[in-house]
Amino acid sequence: MSGDATRSLGRGSSPPGPVPEGVIRIYSMRFCPYSHRARLVLKAKGIRYEVININLKNKPEWYFTKHPFGQIPVLENSQGQLIYESVIACEYLDDLYPGRKLFPFDPYERARQKMLLELFCKVLEYQNITFFGGDRISMIDYLFWPWFERLDVYGLSDCVSHTPMLRLWISTMKQDPTVCALLTDKNIFLGFLHLYFQNNPCAFDFGLCAPAIR
Amino acid sequence: MSGASSKSLGKGSSPPGPVQEGLIRVYSMRFCPFAQRALMVLKAKGIRHEIININLKNKPEWFLKKNPAGLVPVLEDSKGRLISESVIICEYLDEAYPGKKLFPDDPYEKACQKMILESFSKVPPLVASFFKGKKEDHHDIREELRKELRKLEEAMTKYKKDFSVGDAVSMADYLMWPWFQWLEALELNECLAHTPKLKGWMAAMQKDPTVLSHLIDAKTYHGFFNLYLQDSPETCDYGL
């Protein structure tokens, strides 16, 4: 049985044996956002699972018997059934396993979630260009930027570790004079957050000159 | 039930009123393959519905309130709730309405249907690019299409119990069908030369009553294609 934090299997590795009864296996990679989806669902539903990490730059030959193009994530159960595509895998897990249902019960609410996912997928599709609006910075880039500036502060910059295009966009944005002019220093922002979560009204003025002594 | 063969509504038309209780409305277009998916599911499940055809070459302003993307199909219920995206609509109809379930109950079988659909996913944009594209590109597109259809046949062989369909017409079959109906009209049937199982599936589907009720012959499609390529505002009403 292996966990999330295990070395990946690459070319020349032995194929893993069958999946034991009562467990589901996920072929994954620690930094892949798509397999991360499935691991979130596995965890949220308390499903017993084992992880086999795949070396995506040096895929094991046997892995192409699990997925024709060697993609992850793939689920494998003890009957040897294979399910791929992150959204299909997540829905399968929600359908099959009892307990906490992640998709809403109401068909209309389910449809709404799927429509929202469609919109999100469209955003992901735009990762292949320099700026979201084309080859120069425009409104959409400024409208997205504030949340990405905060990623680092929130300790979330790992989110883009597997999306080189988005990382490139972030570093390109940081060269924009407007973005630079308004960039908030990470430590100041952290200071604000710290006070904010303590409900301290001084939070909003953190980092400004000290008030005159009363 | 009404509207399947009604004239489309265009710019300047009055917005339709609310949907009656007990009915569901679909905004559609007679030749749109995506809309055809929804119409087939409505028919297969015997759901009472009304159809409003939209002139996609001259869209009514009010339609953008139904779907900001301005695309069909869109579903509207008597509570004014709107659902867009053909696959989401079809899944919703299967879940919300009783009667014959088009998706299998078994989670793995259901996942298999979705994986088949994944393998089909490049076919619609290829068919569209063939239809809208230049003659010089046709050769390459045909080649691509042959490749994709071979991949689809492999996926169907792996995930489908049986190609002969019969009583077992399921969601994935309906979701793929409209493009296969276009193949003949676009003279792309020869792309199926190396996929005998797909050909057999097509023949079996053409016996299904729901498929039969939506069949459009090649000549009518040709009339539609010609008007479409000329950007005619009469495109969506061809044949009426």
Beta bridge partners of A49: A24
Chain B CA closest to residue A76: B108
Question: Rounded to the nearest 5°, which phi and psi values hold at A82?
Answer: -115, 135
State percent of chain A over pLDDT 90: 40
Higher pLDDT among residues B137 and A159, named by residue: B137
pLDDT in tens, chain B (240 residues): 357 889 999 999 999 999 999 999 999 999 999 999 999 999 999 999 999 999 999 999 999 999 999 999 999 999 999 999 999 999 999 999 998 899 999 999 999 999 999 999 999 999 999 989 899 999 999 999 999 999 999 999 888 766 656 557 899 999 999 999 999 889 999 999 999 999 999 999 999 999 999 999 999 999 999 999 999 999 999 999
Question: What burial class does residue B145 get, using C-beta atoms within 10 Å of its C-beta: 0-12 exposed, 13-18 middle, 19+ buried?
Answer: buried
User: A85 or A160, which is more confident?
Assistant: A85
Q: What one-character DSSP code corresponds to residue B237?
A: G
Query: Which among A92, A107, A118 has the least Cβ separation from residue B95?
Result: A107
User: Residue A107 is nearest to which of B85, B96, B107, comparing CB atoms?
Assistant: B96
Q: How many beta-carbon pairs below 8 A join chains A and B? A: 50
Q: pLDDT for A110-158, tens place per residue?
A: 999 999 888 888 877 766 667 777 778 878 788 888 888 887 777 666 6
Residues with Cβ within 8 Å of B158's Cβ and at least 6 positions away in sequence, in order, are: none
pLDDT over 80 (residue A7) = yes
Measured CA to CA in angstroms, residue A175 lies from A150, A161, B135, B165 at distances of 16, 20, 44, 59
- CATH for B24-101+218-237 is 3.40.30.10
Domain layout of chain B by residue ranges: 24-101+218-237, 107-207
Quote the pLDDT of residue B158: 87
The answer to whether A96 contacts chain B (CB < 8 Å) is yes
Residues in chain B: 240
Give me the architecture of the B107-207 domain, per CATH.
Up-down Bundle (1.20)
ipTM: 0.90
pLDDT at A160 (0 to 100): 63
Q: What are phi and psi of A122, to 5 degrees?
A: -65, -35
Q: How far apart are CA A199 and CA A93, in angstroms?
A: 40
A21 close to A68: Cβ distance less than 8 angstroms: no
- Structure token pair of residue A157: 């910059």
**Out of A92, A108, A112, closest to residue B107 by CB:** A92
CB contact under 8 A, A92 and B81: no
Cross-chain residue pair A85–B95, CB shorter than 8 Å: no
Locus of tokens 């009469």: B234
Residue A162: pLDDT band with limits 50, 70, 90: low
pLDDT at A139: 82
Chain B contact residues (CB < 8 Å to A): 81, 83-85, 88-89, 91-92, 95-96, 107-108, 110-111, 114-115, 118
Q: Count CB atoms within 10 A of the CB of residue B110.
A: 21
Q: Are A108 and B81 in contact (CB under 8 A)?
A: yes
Give CA separation, B46 vs A23, B41, B84, B177, B190, in Å: 40, 8, 20, 19, 35
Residue in B closest to A89 by C-alpha: B111
